[in-house]
Amino acid sequence: MKNLIFILKLLLFTSLFGEAYSVSTISMFNFNNSSFDKNDTEAQKLSKQISSSLIDLMKHDMSFIEDVNFIPTNDLEEELISIRKSLIKEVKNKLNSDLMDIIPKSELSDIVKKISSNNLNDIQVEALTDSLAILVSSSAKNLTRKMLLSNSENEGQWGEISIDDLEKFIQNITHESVLESTFTSMIAASNKDFSTDVFVNTQYTIDDDMITVNLYLYNLDDFSLFSTITEQTYINNINVLIKQLEFKLISELGIYLNDSEKAKLCMYDLSKFSKKDNSLYLSRMFMTEDIKKLKYKMQFSDDYDLISEYYIAIISGLMENDISYNLKFYNDDNFYNVYSTESSNDNAFSVNVLKENWSDKIGVSQNLHSTGGQRGQSKMLIDIDYRYVQAIQFSDRDESFIDVLKQISIYSFIVTSGFLLIQFF
């Protein structure tokens, strides 16, 4: 059934954009709309991380796929800023001069043509003119409401709104409306230098310990919405959310990936590790259960050994980038600090744990050697089989061990239970 659904989507995409395997150019913008508790300092911090890196991480991961080309985010942002400045100026002028009047559609069409440098076809102009009409109407209503509220807060002072106040209201309302609209992104994507086929608008919401990301896919020929992608997860599991968004986006674009290509998409680039935030792909914990979930969601062949391939790649990356980390093994509630990774192969990896006692632990065999230095320094090398690793974690030194243990225990239960339910149904 899933394969049938994919084939139908592939046929639909082909009918919309031509040959299925021709290169599609995608203008996927950074988040221009987000929702979170502004009084929550942790949510604010996470929001900054998401806004600054999530979209670029996705584009980086998908760059190996030959059938799709993503316009660099910086190029899109530069064009978007220019379009927004022009639109703010035009809308502000209209609100200043015609606040109480209905603005003719022809005038709105002229604005669309002007700020798009006449790059649009008639269908695009018509669609964006309707969008601009809604934006201007909404701005006018918000402006009127703002003025009334201002007077209600100053009872008995009706008529006290000055020209400067009105100018300020218009500027603020116009700025807010333009920033939150899809309109400007559509025009920016239509820049002839981009040769865009599909435009993707993005939005996210942080609510307590959950994050929801929405991707809206538009056919640039007529700006029609043809797909919406939604993913939700716990904020400590954004690394998996990113991979699921990537796979869903590629699938919605009608691109087929074989198991090897899917596996490559599942990998994490360790050069993207953030020393400032001590995180990788906005996450500090990577669990084996996550890989099992991705294997199921991405419809790998049953016999494909994704877990081994994943750990070979991530351990090699940790070693190459000299990143310290902690390990957790199955049937063991402890986290073990790894001083450095010495070597790895297809089945196991060797770590240096200094003088820490790892003996008699599940999945750990102290079968190499220990050497001491003149000043009492020592190196204890331990071989670890990938099969026994449950989680890799990057943690702050001041982070409570109990908090970490609760986090992995609760999350492991939720993921495992949810995964089993998915398989059952």
Question: What is the residue-wise DSSP string for 228-288?
Answer: EEEEEEEGGGHHHHHHHHHHHHHHHTT----HHHHHHHH---GGG-BTTTTBBTTBSEEEH
Predicted local distance difference test score (pLDDT) of residue 185: 87
What predicted TM-score, i.e. pTM, was given to this entire model? Answer: 0.78
State the average pLDDT over residues 157-162: 44
Query: Whole-angstrom Cα distance, residue 196 to residue 79?
Result: 13
Contacts of 23 (CB under 8 A, 6+ apart): 66, 67, 68, 69
Parse the chain into domains and list their residue ranges. 288-424
User: Is 292:332 a contact under the CB 8 Å cutoff?
Assistant: no
| pLDDT for res 231 | 97
Q: Are 349 and 313 in contact (CB under 8 A)?
A: no
The token pair that represents 31 in the structure block = 């988040």
Rounded to the nearest 5°, which phi and psi values hold at 328?
-125, 135
| Burial profile 97-122: b = 16 or more Cβ within 10 angstroms, e = fewer | eeeeeebeeeebbebbeebbeeebee
Torsion over CA: 407, 412, 414, 415 (sign): positive
Q: State pLDDT tens for residues 291-347.
A: 999 999 999 999 999 999 999 999 999 999 989 899 999 888 888 888 888 889 998
Name the residue with tokens 């100018």.
167
Element (H, E) at 62: helix 41-62
Query: How far out from the chain centre does Cα 209 lie?
Result: 16
* pLDDT confidence tier of residue 134, bands split at 50, 70 and 90: confident
Distance, in Å, from the CA atom of 13 to the CA atom of 9, rounded to the nearest integer, reads: 6
Strands 198-207, 24-28: pairing is parallel
Do the strands 325-329 and 389-393 form a parallel or antiparallel pair, or are they unpaired?
A: antiparallel
106 confidence band (pLDDT: 50, 70, 90): confident
Give per-residue pLDDT as tens, 231-290: 999 999 999 999 999 999 999 999 999 999 999 999 999 999 999 999 999 999 999 999
pLDDT digits (tens, 9 = 90+) for 56-67: 999 999 999 999
What residues are paired with 215 via a beta bridge?
202, 229
Which residue in 201, 222, 223, 253 sits closest to 31, CA to CA? 201
Whether the CB-CB separation of 111 and 90 falls below 8 Å is answered with yes
Segment 351-380 shows an average pLDDT of 53
> Are residues 342 and 350 in contact, defined by beta-carbon separation less than 8 angstroms?
yes
SS3 state at 380: strand
User: Across residues 171-188, what is the average pLDDT?
Assistant: 67
Residue-level pLDDT at 213: 98
Alpha carbon of 291 to those of 99, 262, 312: distances in Å? 56, 12, 13
pLDDT tens digits for range 27-56: 999 997 889 999 999 999 999 999 999 999
List beta partners, residue 216. Answer: 201, 228
Contact between residue 190 and residue 82 where contact means Cβ atoms under 8 Å apart: no
Neighbour count for residue 381 (Cβ, 10 Å): 17
pLDDT given for residue 285 in this prediction = 95
Of the ranges 89-98, 103-112, 298-307, 329-338, which one carries the lowest mean pLDDT score? 89-98
Q: What pLDDT, on the 0 to 100 scale, is given for residue 373?
A: 36
Mean pLDDT for the chain overall: 78
3-state SS, residue 370: strand
